Chains A and B, each alone.
Chain A
Amino acid sequence: MSNDLNMKVNVLPVLTYNFLHVNDSTLQINDFNISDNKSPLAKELPAGVTVQKAVPFAEAGEIFRKNNDRILAPIDGHVDPNGDTSARDKDQALRTGMGADVDGLMISMGATVDIYTVEEGVKADKPIILNYDMKDGDASLSGQVIHARKDSEVTVIIAYTSDKDAKGFQGVSTRLLAEEGARINLIKSQILGDGFVHFDDIGGACLKDGKIDLVTLELGGCKVFSSAYVNLAEKSTAFTSNMGYLVRGDHDLDINYVADHRGKKTEASMQFKGVLMDSAKKAFRGTIDFKKGSAGSVGDEQEDALLLSEDVVNKTMPVILCQEEDVEGRHGATIGELGEDILFYMQTRGIDEEEAKRIMIKARLDSVAKLIPDPEIMQKTLYYIQNVV
């Protein structure tokens, strides 16, 4: 099957000035062809975790639709923000960072996903490890649903790897449901080759006391979409995210993260640390959305972007939407090159500017890579960073 792919993705929850060109992004590939469904087998499943392989994408969405009365409970007195875009994704079984066009693609291409279910009360004794080892010329669409039942806990580590010069396409959908008191830790390390177009469209929902933690490293690929939409549907739910990114050459990274605070006393913390080199481009969209009824909630997002070349393009859109009085929302961004004070300090220690830059790049990416709980994948990721830097 061959098509021209042209999707509107990573749509900002509220539109702003068109001249900034950040309201959305386009994923366009001519003569698009899927050669394979590359969902890998988990090396070893922890006790209390089952997997249902190759479930059609739409069918897998039923897990979320069954909980729609809780995930998307109507909000009395809701007023849309100016430029609201939520209508375009309203038919998704679960809202995701990239949005409805990815659902359309998965369904139209007949993609399937694997459903991992963690039984009630199970605290998985080891992580589920999924290795997407891509080959030159691969073109795949696949995905997974992680369903953590009540009071369960699981860690999922997904590694996306290929040879350094490999080219290809890889689209992945990752959807998460943390039921009451459940916790999902999702760790992603992406070190694909310089010719890979890659997207990982993450959506998550937390029911009462549920929690989702994300650790993401976006280090490879020539055109990468990295997105997450987490619905904090009920009381005392939480979402944390730590992302490290490195964009170099003429590569392009496009990010869209949303924390949707619906329940009372919800918490979101999103940290993004990254480096742009050469003529790299990056667009970061991060939204904290305090819906009416989210009293007592706290949301925080921080971006720290280190720019190391005069040819980079960095776009940053940190958004806070608020329809609740009793909340605390913060966002901050620092964007620029290495501070002269740091360089001066390094130089007084006999370290030249180039070496100082290497140390600082490594320090900020390593700090995220060291959050990977699997020693082998962590070492592989650290080795990749070491080599590139």
Chain B
Amino acid sequence: MADTNNKQVVADIDRSLYDFKDVESEKDFYRMAEGLTEETVLKVSEEKNDPDWMRDFRLECLKLYNDIKVPDWGPSIEGLDMDKISSYVRHKSDMKGKWEDVPEDIKNTFERLGIPQAERESLAGVGAQYDSELVYHNVKDEVAAQGVVYTDLESALRGEYADMIKSHFMKLVPPTDHKFAALHGAVWSGGSFVYVPKGVKVDIPLQSYFRLNAAGAGQFEHTLIIVDEGADLHFIEGCSAPKYNVANLHAGCVELYVAKNARLRYSTIENWSKNMYNLNTKRAIVEENGIMEWVSGSFGSHTSYLYPMTILKGDNSKMEFTGITFAGKGQNLDTGAKVVHQGKHTSSVINTKSISKDGGVGTYRSSVIIQKTAKKAKASVSCDSLMLDSISRADTIPGMDIRTNDADVGHEAKIGRISDEAIFYLMSRGISEEDAKAMIVSGFANPVSKELPLEYAVEMNNLIKLEMSGNG
């Protein structure tokens, strides 16, 4: 049995890979004054050269933001003061289509994060956002030749897809949804638009990477993806930031439209720094026979509210959510998933893992709604939490609302620690206690890492850096 005096230590995530920061000079960077007023919203709109409808929409969203209250159910966001957040920071150069044209300081940042290398080796296209604006966007010729559109949202707003953007933008996540959706609508900037035409299957993933380098700033990128009938896409989202002593804010928005017989996999490795308030909203709507798959790793942030939601609208549509959350010192990560079953024979599977240590608070929160129309729906939820000490918290708060008898809903949750029996079993097979604990924790995270492409699974394992060390 484990000796309490000989406890293994699961180390914090090594953040040195992500914590480097570049000084942003006034010469190279434009930074809007802190605070959120009609004037700042109009200034963002002017910077973006918005069409009139978007400018008016932003102003409506600002009103909503001022009217809607902060949620009463989640982690405290008292440390977030919008009067100290700049809503818009950008480099003075334009977005580039070639890496060599990207400004040297920004290029260095993304090279240290391995983005250009990943693009060369394993991606169909890359978008890179630095603070409030995309600085690089590129899609491989052969993918573009299939008719796949992968561009920054601002260009799409003014180009041939303008009507498509207008009819989809913040329709799935309306600004009335919650306070930070309204905030997003008011000051959104950057992000990507992806359109995959009917029947096109993109064999290798597209990736967007978001870097918030500026201190005391907000990032409000908007990602809009439309996967048309019978099409198939894997989209990867990465995010990181260096740590500052002031609060930063991320209030992005992701809207995903999965058409009939289409499939979309949306993978995220989130590694914001521990001064970040991550108040992000992600939502997908799935038509007949469509499939939505989420893979979500939450490692960074000071405070997170993150519950990707799927609306299974079409008959036989499916959703699968696989997520892991690692809450360490000073972190309060409130994560999970939401699903609404509307169509007949719809199915959803939610499978999450959560690790809490060093005083971190990890909360799994979810909702499964089976509407009256969702005959023969099936929903299954499994959420496991691992407590690595007794100064942390691990809570599970799942909700189910079932409005038809013709459904099958199963739910199970477990909370506990690394079992002495499992360690004993492995040690009886000649494995050291240190290695046994490392194996058990890696195994706990395995259902998530096995869902990622190899390169990202390796990144995730590096990110976790669950270094096991004993004191003899």
Contacts and interface: CB of A to CB of B under 8 A. Distances in A.
Contacts of B407: 307, 335-337
Contact of B405 (A79, A295, A307, A331): A307
A104 interface: no
B395 A321 contact: yes
Nearest to B396: A320
A333 to B, nearest CB: 4
Given A15-B72, A333-B409, A323 B403 contact: no
Given A14-B397, A321-B395, A313 B413 contact: no
Contacts of B400: 314-317, 333, 335
B409 A331 contact: no
A17 B404 contact: no
Interface string A273-305: 000100000000000001010010000000001
Interface string B365-387: 10100001000000000000101
Interface string B411-424: 11111110000000
A22 interface: yes
B409 A81 contact: no
Contact of A20 (B71, B394, B399, B410): B399
A23 interface: yes
B280 to A, nearest CB: 16
A382 interface: no
Contact of B417 (A20, A81, A308, A326): A326
A317 B397 CA distance: 7
Contacts of A327: 387, 415-417
Contacts of B398: 317-319
Interface in A319-360: 319-337
Contact of B334 (A82, A290, A318, A332): A82
Given A295-B390, A310-B405, A334-B409, A81 B367 contact: no
A310 B408 CA distance: 13
B416 A328 contact: yes
Per DSSP, chain B at the interface is strand
Interface size class of A (residues with CB under 8 A): 35 or more
Given A15-B72, A322-B394, A336 B412 contact: no
A323 B401 contact: no
Contacts of B392: 323, 325
Contact of A82 (B332, B385, B413): B332
A23 B73 contact: yes
Contacts of B75: 82
Nearest to B413: A331
Contacts of B387: 322, 324-325, 327
B402 A319 contact: no
Given A17-B399, A18-B73, A292 B390 contact: yes
Q: How large is the interface on B (under 10, 10 to 19, 20 to 34, 35 or more residues)?
A: 35 or more
Contacts of B359: 79
B391 interface: yes
B318 interface: no
Given A16-B73, A295-B390, A320 B405 contact: no
Contacts of B406: 310, 337
B412 A330 contact: yes
B402 A332 contact: no
A336 B396 CA distance: 22
A323 B390 contact: yes
A168 B10 CA distance: 60
A152 B401 CA distance: 42
B238 interface: no
A30 B72 CA distance: 29
Contacts of B403: 312-314
B56 interface: no
B361 interface: yes
B349 to A, nearest CB: 15
Nearest to B403: A313
A328 B416 CA distance: 5
Nearest to B334: A82
B405 A308 contact: yes
Contacts of B205: none
A107 B104 CA distance: 73
Contacts of A307: 402, 404-405, 407
Given A14-B395, A20-B401, A330 B413 contact: yes
Contacts of A14: 73, 395, 397
Interface in A8-32: 14-20, 22-23
B405 A336 contact: yes
A327 B393 CA distance: 12
B281 interface: no
Given A323-B392, A324-B387, A83 B405 contact: no
A286 to B, nearest CB: 11
B330 interface: no
Contacts of A375: none
B385 A322 contact: yes
A271 to B, nearest CB: 15
B74 interface: yes
A77 interface: yes
A16 B397 contact: yes
Contact of A332 (B71, B397, B411): B411
Interface in B297-320: none
Interface string A124-146: 00000000000000000000000
Given A292-B390, A325-B388, A332 B417 contact: no
Contacts of B342: none
A317 B405 contact: no
A83 B75 CA distance: 7
Contacts of A320: 385, 395-396, 413, 415
B390 A324 contact: yes
Nearest to A317: B399
Contacts of B101: none
Contacts of B365: 16-17
A336 B401 contact: no
Contacts of A309: 405
Contact of B363 (A18, A81, A316, A328): A81
Contacts of B399: 16-17, 20, 22, 315-317
A104 B338 CA distance: 37
Nearest to A288: B415
B409 A82 contact: no
A322 B363 CA distance: 10
A337 to B, nearest CB: 4
Interface string B64-76: 0000000111110
A325 B417 CA distance: 6
Nearest to A307: B405
Contact of A319 (B72, B73, B393, B397): B397
B83 interface: no
Interface in B332-354: 332, 334, 338
B78 to A, nearest CB: 13
A329 B390 contact: no
Contacts of A337: 405-407
Interface string B54-90: 0000000000000000011111000000000000000
Given A18-B73, A319-B396, A335-B407, 18 more contacts: A19-B367, A20-B367, A310-B372, A310-B404, A310-B406, A314-B400, A314-B401, A315-B401, A316-B399, A317-B398, A322-B415, A324-B390, A325-B388, A326-B390, A333-B409, A334-B410, A335-B400, A336-B408
17 contacts: A16-B397, A20-B367, A79-B359, A82-B75, A312-B403, A314-B402, A315-B399, A315-B402, A317-B400, A318-B411, A322-B385, A324-B387, A330-B414, A333-B410, A335-B409, A336-B408, A337-B406
Interface of B: 71-75, 332, 334, 338, 359, 361, 363, 365, 367, 372, 385, 387-417
A-B pairs, top 5 by smallest CB distance, nearest first, are A307-B405, A15-B73, A329-B415, A83-B73, A333-B411
